[in-house]
Amino acid sequence: MLLSLDLQLFAEKTEKATPRKKQDARKKGQVAKSTDLTNAIVLIASFSILGIYGQQMAIRLFQLVRSGLSDLLLMNLTEESVPTLFVGLLKEGAIIAVPVIFIAWLASLASNLSQVGFLVAPESLKWDLNKLNPITGAKRLFSARTLVEFVKSLLKVIAVATVAGLMLWSEKGEFLKLPQMEPLQIVGFISSLMIRMGLTISAVYLVIAAGDLVYQRFDFAKKLRMSKQDIKDEYKKTEGDPLIKHKIKEKQRQMSRARMMAEIPNAQVVVTNPTHYAVAIAYEAGKMQVPIVVAKGADFLALNIKEAAKEHKIVIMENKPLARALYASVEIGGEIPEELFKAVAEILAYVYRIKGTLSSQRR
């Protein structure tokens, strides 16, 4: 039994993705995007706003918790009062946290828009059974991407541990003074340290994320690469098979030529080069304002026009300059331009004289 193999599976994908391939991938939600970059920007924005209002927020939260605990100790505990107290505390805490949440949301939105623009991809929500394929899963497990993700995670852990360790060590003197501090001072010190630590870690994370963005774009471009045959197939789908298009154009030329040849019997004269060009001119007094070109051709087509003219007893006249000028400046069905009126009028007058002479001789 013969096996049918798709040779495309073995074609080397060396060509950059075409705009259509990129557009199709985008419709499926496949874009070059670094989640780490978004996370880093969100962290920097969040810790920046905390750097401005962090200590105030920490003090307000501390006071909120302290007052809540005081109320809890003093109030009459019932099934209704306890939930009411905690709901009130949660609402107050949420109000305090709103600025940070809002800034984090804006940072996330800005990061995503800067990376991929506005994107709505319903196709990405469709269930893909290939995700359940164990072979595909195994390939992902031992892929270069998995290795990169592992190295990236390792770098993040090392960065966080190093920055946290160095900053905590640099503040060891302040930690020794904590027992002598007031509760609000302790809250202020710890919140300030956490914010500075968060900003420093976020800055290091941003450097790692920038490298990740470069890798994501490189890896995405690599995934979208196409073989030369892929590009040819895409061209056929979008523009049509070149061979078929050529045949259609040839058929159209033949039909146009046939229509043109059918108009030759209506001509009064054919002006020739004599070997290279032939232009058939028609004019009917009272029906046409100016003479028109009903047929024209060069070389072999010019020969066919002259043969058709002889067959229908159309006068053939040699006038090299006029034949060239008419062929170059007037399309089939077009009117004779003003600058050629005189030359064409002289030829038509001559034709009418010949026809008049022939008619009188016949009578």
Is 72's pLDDT higher than 70? Answer: no
Residues 81, 189: Cα–Cα separation, whole Å: 34
- Indicate the pLDDT class of residue 1, thresholds 50, 70 and 90: very low
Residues 38 and 182 in one domain: yes
Q: What is the pLDDT confidence band of residue 2, given thresholds at 50, 70 and 90?
A: very low
pLDDT digits (tens, 9 = 90+) for 21-53: 888 888 887 888 888 999 999 999 998 888 887
We report the CATH number of the domain holding residue 312 as: 3.40.1690.10
What the block records as the tokens of 65 is 């918790």
Neighbours of 273 (CB within 10 A): 19
pLDDT per position as a tens digit, 213-256: 998 899 888 888 888 888 887 777 766 666 777 787 888 888 88
pLDDT at residue 349, as a whole number: 86
pLDDT at 11: 57
Mean pLDDT of the chain: 80
Tell whether 18 is covered by a domain. no
Do residues 79 and 45 share a domain? Answer: yes
Would 1 be classed as within a structural domain?
A: no
Domain count, the chain: 3
144 and 191 part of one domain:
yes
Residue 88 pLDDT: 73
- 255 and 301 in a single domain? The answer is no
Whether the pLDDT of residue 16 is over 90: the answer is no
Answer yes or no: is 339 within a domain: yes
Say if residues 326 and 297 touch (Cβ distance below 8 Å): no
285 in a structural domain? yes
Is residue 247 a part of any domain in this protein? yes
Domain that holds residue 247: 227-259
pLDDT tens-digit map of 175-204:
888 888 887 788 778 888 888 898 999 999
Chain length of the chain: 363
What amino acid occupies position 249?
A: K
Q: Which residues contact 14 (CB under 8 A, 6 or more apart)?
A: 225, 227, 228
- Are the beta carbons of 268 and 351 closer than 8 angstroms? yes
Asked whether 276 and 326 are in contact (CB, 8 A), the reply is no
Q: What is the pTM of this model?
A: 0.54
Type of residue at 109: L
Q: Do 155 and 270 fall into the same domain?
A: no
pLDDT tier for residue 5 given thresholds of 50, 70 and 90: very low
Residues 200, 211: one domain? Answer: yes
pLDDT for residue 19: 81
State whether 303 and 328 are in the same domain.
yes
Tokens found for residue 305: 């026009």
- Position 30 in a domain: yes
What percent of the chain lies above the pLDDT cut of 90? 9
What are the pLDDT digits (tens) for 268-316? 888 888 778 889 888 887 788 888 888 888 888 888 888 888 888 888 8
CA distances from 45 to 42, 52, 144, 196 (A): 5, 11, 32, 13
Assigned domain for 252 exists: yes
The answer on 150 and 44 residing in a single domain is: yes
Asked if 201 and 159 count as a contact pair (C-beta separation under 8 A), the reply is yes
Structure tokens at 343: 């030359």
Domain presence at residue 253: yes
Query: In this structure, are 212 and 156 located in the same domain?
Result: yes
Burial of 60 (0-12, 13-18, 19+ CB in 10 A): middle
Please tell me the least confidently modeled range out of 48-52, 89-93, 260-264, 323-327: 89-93
